[in-house]
Structure 1
């Protein structure tokens, strides 16, 4: 029996460059031997970042969506500024459902994430078909609603974002 797998990781600003380079296949070499560069043209986006790096895309979305938050972007105790879902299943599952249903699986997963995270807060959603098992990296800004000086604001806050998530 197969299961849907969703892993979430929180990232600080310095991490965004390396995950951007990995997810967007901007490196020339990879330590992960499961990556077959010959098949990288099979990878596709469900949401492609406008900027050429996740860090720049973070700043663009922060500005465009007027996101607030007391973020510490440098120093020892930096804030988590982004999170990433890794969405997959086992390889046999994908073999059994075929190419069209695999695309539908990731489209459905993307739509689920849009409802939870807000599509405007998604930095990138990239499906990797060039590794042993197909999977999607969905990188997003964890945004929660708050109130500041009596006004509703959207703020970046990873720890608050995940409170109550176990209700799924």
Structure 2
């Protein structure tokens, strides 16, 4: 599959923005990132979280309503298989056009910082936007207001950017839910540490002349608890991976059905169009007009028969 991926997150406090930018600049521990690849990351508009915060503050109005959205964080990538199959140059071109789309949507001055992460499993671009509307007000709802607006945004991005790079829009109306890509890969990419279990029986009570240790039942119960606690992250990874596989299968199946319906419709249109071969536009219009007239006659005749049968006491 080669679907575009466009996600948004509303950041409602400077603290939330600061924490996010620190992650972006790797100024805090990032277990799912490969330190050897971190130098390959790209930063646009700022070179540190402090610079990014300064850019955000420069665009924010003096007065911000309570619970107002101060910034929108965008995350842009594509289906992992399709994204990693592209060359570095093709990936950069996709991200370049994605950033241009964001600037056209929000105004270049409001896209305060953007970057590309290449030290995680799937290359992706992220951007921080201060949502200033055309009236000059802080107004995230203008850009992300409701499911219809978000749906239209996904479609527009796919048409304006995705198609150019051989990506398509995700299935509209799909029941598959989505996690933030950054969060998803952050969970499934973390390595599982080896199990460490204290195999020695614990001393429960130590006296001068005797020592009481765990019974067989207590020992077994403790070992089981310790093992379960340590393997839980792996179990969660497996659950997320299985969930993602089911979602992909569902989307692929839905797309196949859509293609089949489209093919059937095209075949029907082609079969119908053969009846109009050799006719000009006026003649085609006459045929359609005659068809409508015959349909109206049939409907009238059916109504008359129905009333006649009813008068005779017939039932249908």
Q: Indicate the RMSD between aligned Cα atoms, in angstroms.
A: 2.1
- From 65, 75, 82, the equivalent of 1:93 is 82
TM-score normalized by structure 1? 0.79
SS at match of 1:5: strand
2:16 and 2:89 map into 1 onto residues whose CA distance is 33
Contact 1:69 1:157 in 2 (8 A): no
Poorly superposed stretches of 4+, deviation over 4 Å:
none
Aligned equivalent of 2:140: 158
SS at match of 2:122: coil
1:97 and 1:51 map into 2 onto residues whose CA distance is 30
More helix by proportion, 1 or 2? 2
Count residues with an aligned counterpart: 149
Cα shift at 1:16: 0.9
More strand by proportion, 1 or 2? 1
Aligned equivalent of 2:273: none
Q: Identify the structure with bigger relative contact order (alpha carbons < 8 Å, sequence gap 6+).
A: 1
Aligned equivalent of 2:45: 47
Residues 50-95 of structure 1, C-alpha deviations (whole Å, 9 max, x = no match): 8724332211233xxxxx48513xxxx4211000110011222123
Change (3 A) 1:20 1:51: closer
TM-score normalized by structure 2? 0.44
- From 92, 95, 101, the equivalent of 1:106 is 95
1:142 and 1:93 map into 2 onto residues whose CA distance is 31
Aligned equivalent of 2:20: 19
Cα shift at 1:9: 0.5
Unaligned runs of 5+ in 2: 157-316
Change (3 A) 1:20 1:10: same
Cα shift at 1:100: 0.6
